[in-house]
Structure 1
């Protein structure tokens, strides 16, 4: 299909997304490969469309198949230009259009007809483009597209892959044998949930960080007790590790971060102090939560457990030496 290019925001994509939303509402649960073949586009283009739809619809993904739950598509019916024009003329010509109590509601209906449905999708596209973590210009787009295809096939056929993956902050990629369970969208990017044989645990891998992916003939069994939604609900971000009970004091000027938003299912405010600061308790993996605490600087203080507090004390001492 030639050189891969980043998808453009155009009328063709809007039309495809509208049709995609309707298609996903049907009884069939679709593979990305099937949708890519149907629309004649790259798999990564379909993933981009799905990413936009997640801003509007409640999309489900299980075993590599995608669908919209009944009632999960709030997109209104899309009228053709001719249909909308006919309705506008009819409503404007109707005598009751200027008579209360109908005037208010008919004006609202007219505004919706004059404001094309496409604008709703354009707003979602702009929102996605503002916050998305883009593939850097130096990356090989064709490789990213190929990795999507291989990983999706691995999920569908329950086949292991051998992959080179460069984790954030690492200088060199690491070779992994992975059993891919699911491809999902989280925190503005696409990830693979897979059993990592090296770590002997389930991990999450950002797809744009793969340097190479090779499909093997080795089959694996999908664990019957694996539930992606449940596993993600237990995580603060997307780091792996055993969860532990952690208690943190948040300064008053940052307390809103945990007061306005339930950032984790186990998050609990256990004490409010006179100066406006709060003490929270969470049950999360240490590694991922530590990154968040460090990002708050002196506004966050680890209280428990003692061993984690000691680790943060060491970090603070080393930083003090660095800036002294």
Structure 2
């Protein structure tokens, strides 16, 4: 990591932790104590002043903070800013670093804002799940900043019925994002040797490890999401559908994939074609259209839907 990047990371660490020793900063950045002093000088040149507190609980701290007293920022607005910051960090956005610095300044401007509650937009989510996600969110964010591996026990819904669905995995946490009210961790999975998504509510147990990691895989989360029907990152399928009115009109008004192709068969029927990931969600979406859709390809999807229809019929007979 370069000198500028390390100085920026040191700034973010002090925003997060309030006070840190030179030794603590040096260990996280994997540099010498002397380099930490150099980063302090670099930040000073950028008008970011770092003070030193002596004594047993002393260390470096940020001196210049933003005074928000006169602008009446509410707790709800602060919570919204924090979650917006997490969402922006999850993708490739212009000025993402600048926004992160700005939000950190605001969020740490006063002691009143130091303990900001975890926020989730899904107000119908059970309290116990929100509390669980709040705890995981806090600890994993720290692991992301400090580049610590985490060990999780994870319940997957994509599993063999004959095998236990709870597996222990070692993850290199890259980031956190929100998808339809659910919170997900994404990172490199040592078990799968690839990038994977992990839903917070399915993490049964976790441990922040002392082992460090480096992001050495080029990975564009935004690109993956644009190619997936949802957040599942499985093998893509060539989906071809014949869709009838009124669902044909609804589908024409939405963007399901950047590579989708829609053409009119007649005034009431369309032909929908796209290469998509996320087989489970694709299947649920197609079935939600009932008799107004016909699967042309893949054949497996046809067979799986027919099997599901037979199961439903058996339930009501």
**TM value normalised by structure 1:** 0.58
Among 4, 13, 29, the alignment partner of 2:100 is: 29
Distance 1:44 1:166 in 2: 30
What is the match of residue 231 of structure 1? Answer: 224
What is the match of residue 76 of structure 2? Answer: 13
Structure 1, unpaired ranges of 5+: 1-9, 49-130
Judge conservation of contact 1:234–1:264 (CA < 8 Å) in 2.
Answer: yes
Among 257, 269, 280, the alignment partner of 2:273 is: 280
Structure 1 residues 289 and 178: CA distance shift in structure 2, 3 A: same
What is the match of residue 210 of structure 2? Answer: 217
CA deviations 1:16-55 (Å, max 9, x no partner) are 8689999x9994734988865545478994763xxxxxxx
Q: Cα offset for 1:214?
A: 0.8
CA deviations 1:168-213 (Å, max 9, x no partner) are 6999754332221111222233321122333333222222443322
User: In structure 2, the residue corresponding to 1:139 is in which secondary structure?
Assistant: helix
- Aligned pairs for 1:97-176 (under 5 A) are 132-134=121-123, 136-139=125-128, 142-167=131-156, 173-176=166-169
What is the match of residue 88 of structure 1? Answer: none
**TM value normalised by structure 2:** 0.60
Q: Cα offset for 1:262?
A: 1.0
User: In structure 2, the residue corresponding to 1:205 is in which secondary structure?
Assistant: strand
What is the match of residue 307 of structure 1? Answer: 300
User: In structure 1, the residue corresponding to 2:145 is in which secondary structure?
Assistant: helix
Judge conservation of contact 1:249–1:280 (CA < 8 Å) in 2.
Answer: no
What is the match of residue 26 of structure 2? Answer: none
Distance 2:230 2:259 in 1: 13
Distance 1:203 1:298 in 2: 34
Distance 2:197 2:242 in 1: 29
Distance 2:213 2:79 in 1: 35
Distance 2:240 2:170 in 1: 36
- My pick for the range that moved more, 25-34 or 216-225, is 25-34
What is the match of residue 314 of structure 2? Answer: 321
- My pick for the range that moved more, 188-197 or 13-22, is 13-22
Distance 2:103 2:169 in 1: 24
Among 237, 241, 258, the alignment partner of 1:244 is: 237
Q: Cα offset for 1:315?
A: 2.2
Q: Cα offset for 1:302?
A: 1.4
User: In structure 1, the residue corresponding to 2:282 is in which secondary structure?
Assistant: helix
